[in-house]
Amino acid sequence: MLETEVVVSASPHIRGRLTAERIMGLVVFALVPASIAAVYFFGRQALILIIASVVSAVLTEAVTLMLMKRPLTITDGSAVVTGLLLALTLPPTVPVWIPVVGSAFAIIFGKQIYGGLGFNPFNPALVGRAFLSASWPTLMLNWVWPEGSLGWTQQNAAAAAGVTADAVAGATALGLWRGGTTGIPYLQLYFGNIAGSLGETSALALLLGGLFLLACKIIDWRIPFGYLGTVALFAFLLGEDPLFHLLAGGLLLGAFFMATDYVTTPITPRGRLIFGIGCGFLTMLLRKFGGSPEGVCYSILLMNVTTPLLDRWTRPKRFGEVKANG
């Protein structure tokens, strides 16, 4: 008889203290600056949309799990992250039912239909946003500038674009760029007093959250580095302003918080770098030649499809493995 019990289990045999719950909690904490910036620039409506999206995601997950007779796992925080990320990709002008419907769709058809957390091939928040964009495009393209925008105001934008101020009030920085307007100040793109989705306008807030995740080693540097570096390189090669493309739109939100999703991105180091490069290439391709000036959402979803292949092609050799001769 053995004096101690022998436990037989599947790998990994060495486990760390970092649990799914803790990871999700740190991601939510990293999104706090962007959420605060959204409420600061767009007011109480932004807070209402964020709360509605998160509550809808959590309730939908709970109801779905009960209907499927699965254990309730809403305490892992993944539904909260999905709802929060989806809310931060929405215009501040959408009605409250938009994030409610979008989060429900994201949880059901982007996550639970595949088996729940760990089995979904696509980022659930982006699935929800793609659904909303396809179903209610007018609502999803109704932008507004924050009240009291400093420096380069809506009137300046109107004069630069040669149109009325009311028309420019509904255009994002990328929309103005697609329309031929140049000279948008970096300072407004950096701090966030400009038109855009709730969580994409303030580059400063997103950088704070992204650097926090990198410092805590929650995300791998290869994906955001490959993503942002590729966008900057291709913008330069296409004769565009690299810094503008890095600060404008949802690039920073996507690079730090969506392209780095554990489940839908490669697990190998080389695979992650290639994944980031692919996202950057597709984003610039869609921005320059696509029907919409923004390409982050669909570029990440398209690269999610390649994740199994990237894991297979970049699989490291086993220790001691040598190439067969002949």
Q: Mind listing the pLDDT tens digit of every residue in the chain (326 residues)?
A: 556 666 676 666 666 677 888 999 999 999 999 999 999 999 999 999 999 999 999 999 999 999 988 887 777 889 999 999 999 999 999 999 999 999 999 999 999 999 888 889 999 999 999 999 999 999 998 888 886 554 444 555 544 444 444 444 557 888 877 777 666 778 888 898 888 899 988 999 999 999 999 999 999 999 999 999 999 999 999 988 899 999 988 999 999 999 999 899 999 999 999 999 999 999 999 998 888 888 899 999 999 999 999 999 988 777 666 666 65
Q: Is the bond leading into 12 cis (omega within 30 degrees of zero)?
A: yes
pLDDT on residue 149: 53
pLDDT of residue 233: 95
Count Cβ atoms within 10 A of the Cβ of residue 318 and give its class: 0-12 exposed, 13-18 middle, 19 or more buried: exposed
- Is 269 within the bounds of a domain? yes
* pTM, rounded to two decimals: 0.86
43 part of a folded domain: yes
Residue-range definition of the domain harbouring residue 237: 221-310
* Residue 152, pLDDT score: 46
Contact 143, 91 (CB under 8 A): yes
What does the alpha-carbon distance between residue 279 and residue 297 come to, in Å, rounded to a whole number? 10
Domain-located, residue 263: yes
Residue 133 resides in a domain: yes
Counting the structural domains of the chain, the total is 2
Count other C-beta atoms under 10 Å from residue 29's C-beta.
13
Angle at 247 between CA 105 and CA 24, to 5 degrees: 45
Of 100, 120, 140, the residue at which a domain comes to its end is 140
Tell me how far apart the alpha carbons of residues 23 and 290 are, in angstroms, rounded to a whole number.
35
In three-state secondary structure terms, 193 is coil
Asked if residue 190 belongs to a domain, the reply is no
CA distance 205 to 252: 10
Single residue among 81, 108, 140 that ends a domain in this structure: 140
In a domain, 120, yes or no: yes
Query: Would you say residue 88 lies in a domain?
Result: yes
**Look-up of token digits 């701090």:** 191
Quick check: 48 and 18 in contact, CB under 8 A? no
Q: Where are the alpha helices (DSSP H) in 12-123?
A: 20-30, 32-42, 44-67, 78-88, 97-110
- The CA distances from residue 150 to 159, 177, 206, 290, in Å, are 16, 19, 20, 31
Residue finishing a domain among 140, 169, 201: 140
pLDDT attached to residue 226: 96
C-alpha span between 172 and 144 (Å, rounded): 8
pLDDT of residue 326: 52
Check residue 100 and report its DSSP letter. H
122 and 227 share a domain? no
Specify the DSSP class assigned to residue 117.
Answer: T
d(CA 193, CA 178): 19
Count CA atoms within 13 Å of residue 159 on its CB side.
5
| Alpha-carbon gap, residue 229 to 218, rounded angstroms | 20
Answer yes or no: is 153 within a domain.
Answer: no
| Distance (Å, whole) CA 203 – CA 190 | 5
